[in-house]
Amino acid sequence: MRCDIISIFPEYLEPLKLSLPGQAQRKGLLDVAVHDLRDFSHDRHRTVDDTPYGGGAGMVMKPQPWWEALEHVRTLGDGTPTLIVPGPGGEVLTQRLARELADEDWLIFACGRYEGIDERVYEAAADVMPVRVISLGDYVLNGGEVAVLAMIEAAARLLPGFMGNAESLVEESHEDGLLEYPVYTKPATWQGREVPPVLLSGDHGKVAAWRHQQRLERTAARRPDLLHASSALTPGGVDDRW
Ligand code: SAM
């Protein structure tokens, strides 16, 4: 998967060189290139923003540098990329959406700042490539970079070969709509707190049933909104309370 990220703070994306995303790049699973939007500005102050038409607080990102940056980046890969614009007014990032991103060969991420990007950039971009506005959640960040880090990490870990053990993806939170069960490691007793005895029983059937029940209870307690949509609630489920 190729990811081109356009930002006025290229250093913000440095963490993508670390840990599993870094390894994925070295393995050739992920190809990340970061571009400085200011390189596409032509005045000596490298200006990328201006005051909003209609008045109001804050600044708006100018269309010209954005368009030149997008036109340049579009020449760097093969085929048609999808443009992802992080924004609090977009569709919310979910595991399903992360999977859709992971299915794409080439994504361009446009990191807004200030009050956002001139709306005409979205319109012009939509004439030449698919455009998706994606939100990290119902709150406002200072810029799109943190959202892009989250989107790329959520998508890249779904790429075949990214995880050392692909099994660990199977029962994760949000894969089938339920949250994950609680996890424990050694020692069996810590500060007087015991690991649930069933996990020490060696009975795989009982462990699986306990974990499923824990997933249901945890989801009901923390995210009841997820329960109705979950594909894990099949007839014959562990607890018919749900
Ligand atoms: N004025 C905008 C509004 O009210 O919708 C918010 C602009 S915000 C200060 C600046 C940039 O941060 C946005 O253009 C976007 O790139 C990013 N951003 C802010 N909140 C976000 C969120 N919840 N998800 C994704 N990106 C976000």
Residue nearest to atom 23 of ligand 1 (CA): 88
The pTM is what? Answer: 0.92
Superfamily name and number for 170-227: tRNA(m1g37)methyltransferase, domain 2 (1.10.1270.20)
ipTM of the complex: 0.99
pLDDT at 174: 87
φ and ψ at 170, to 5 degrees?
-60, -50
Give the domain ranges of the chain. Answer: 2-156, 170-227
Of 235, 91, 203, nearest in space to 151 by CA: 91
pLDDT at 235: 44
Ligand 1 environment, Cβ below 6 A = 86-89, 111-113, 115-116, 135-137, 139-144, 147
Which of 134, 140, 148, 149 is the best mutation target for the ligand 1 pocket, counting ligand atoms within 8 Å of the beta carbon and taking the most? 140
pLDDT tens readout for residues 27-54: 999 999 999 999 999 999 999 999 999 9
Going by the DSSP 8-state scheme, the letter that residue 220 receives in this structure is H
CA of 127 to the centre of ligand 1 (A): 23
pLDDT at 228: 81
Sequential DSSP letters for 85-107: EEEEEEEEP-HHHHHHHHT-SEE
Residue nearest to atom 5 of ligand 1 (CA): 88
Position in ligand 1 atom list of the atom nearest CA 58: 1
Residue nearest to atom 8 of ligand 1 (CA): 142
pLDDT tens readout for residues 61-84: 999 999 999 999 999 999 999 999
pLDDT at 233: 65
pLDDT at 240: 42
pLDDT at 234: 55
CA of 84 to the centre of ligand 1 (A): 13
For each of the chain's 242 residues, which pLDDT tens digit applies? 999 999 999 999 999 999 999 999 999 999 999 999 999 999 999 999 999 999 999 999 999 999 999 999 999 999 999 999 999 999 999 999 999 999 999 999 999 999 999 999 999 999 999 999 999 999 999 999 999 999 999 999 999 988 877 777 777 888 888 999 999 999 999 999 999 999 999 999 999 999 999 999 999 999 999 998 776 765 444 444 33
| Cβ-contact 169, 102 below 8 angstroms | no
Q: Which residues are annotated as a binding site for S-adenosyl-L-methionine?
A: 112, 136-141
Position in ligand 1 atom list of the atom nearest CA 138: 23
Q: Is 73 exposed, middle or buried (0-12, 13-18, 19+ CB in 10 A)?
A: buried
pLDDT at 237: 46
Position in ligand 1 atom list of the atom nearest CA 85: 16
pLDDT tens readout for residues 82-94: 999 999 999 999 9
CATH architecture for the domain at 2-156? 3-Layer(aba) Sandwich (3.40)
